[in-house]
Amino acid sequence: MYKKLFIPGPTHVREEILQAQAAPMIGHRSKDYSDLQAEVTPKLQKLLYTQQRVYLYACSSTGAMEGSVRQGSTKRVLNTACGAFSKRWHQITAANGVPCDKVEVPMGQAITPELVDEALSKGDYDAVTIVMNETSTGLLNPVKDIAALIHEKYPDVLILVDAVSCMAGVKIEFDAWGLDVCLAGVQKCFALPPGLTVCAVSDRARERAQQVATSGYYFSYAQMDKKYEKHQTPATPAVSLIQALNAQMDDVLAEGLENRWKRHEKMAATVQEWARRYFALYSDERYLSPTVTNVENTRGISVAGLNEELGKRGAMISNGYGDLKEKCFRIAHMGDLTLDDVKWLLGQIEDILGLS
Ligand SMILES: Cc1ncc(COP(=O)(O)O)c(C=O)c1O
Question: Does the C-beta of 185 come closer than 6 Å to ligand 1?
Answer: yes
| Most ligand 1 atoms within 8 A of CB, residue of 165, 292, 324 to mutate | 165
Q: Atom 7 (ligand 1): residue with closest C-alpha?
A: 61
Longest pairwise C-alpha distance within the chain: 62
Rounded Cα distance, 232 and 55, in Å: 10
Full pLDDT tens readout for the chain, 356 residues: 899 999 999 999 999 999 999 999 999 999 999 999 999 999 999 999 999 999 999 999 999 999 999 999 999 999 999 999 999 999 999 999 999 999 999 999 999 999 999 999 999 999 999 999 999 999 999 999 999 999 999 999 999 999 999 999 999 999 999 999 999 999 999 999 999 999 999 999 999 999 999 999 999 999 999 999 999 999 999 999 999 999 999 999 999 999 999 999 999 999 999 999 999 999 999 999 999 999 999 999 999 999 999 999 999 999 999 999 999 999 999 999 999 999 999 999 999 999 97
Return the ligand 1 atom nearest residue 185 CA: 10
Rounded Cα distance, 82 and 131, in Å: 8
Return the ligand 1 atom nearest residue 187 CA: 10
CA dihedral 18, 20, 56, 132 (to 10 degrees): -40
Tell me the CA–centroid distance for residue 188 and ligand 1, in Å: 9
Question: Does the C-beta of 335 come closer than 6 Å to ligand 1?
Answer: no
Rounded Cα distance, 228 and 223, in Å: 9
CA dihedral 217, 220, 225, 231 (to 10 degrees): 80
| Most ligand 1 atoms within 8 A of CB, residue of 68, 85, 187, 319 to mutate | 85
Indicate the pairing of strand 4-5 with strand 315-316. Answer: parallel
Return the ligand 1 atom nearest residue 59 CA: 11
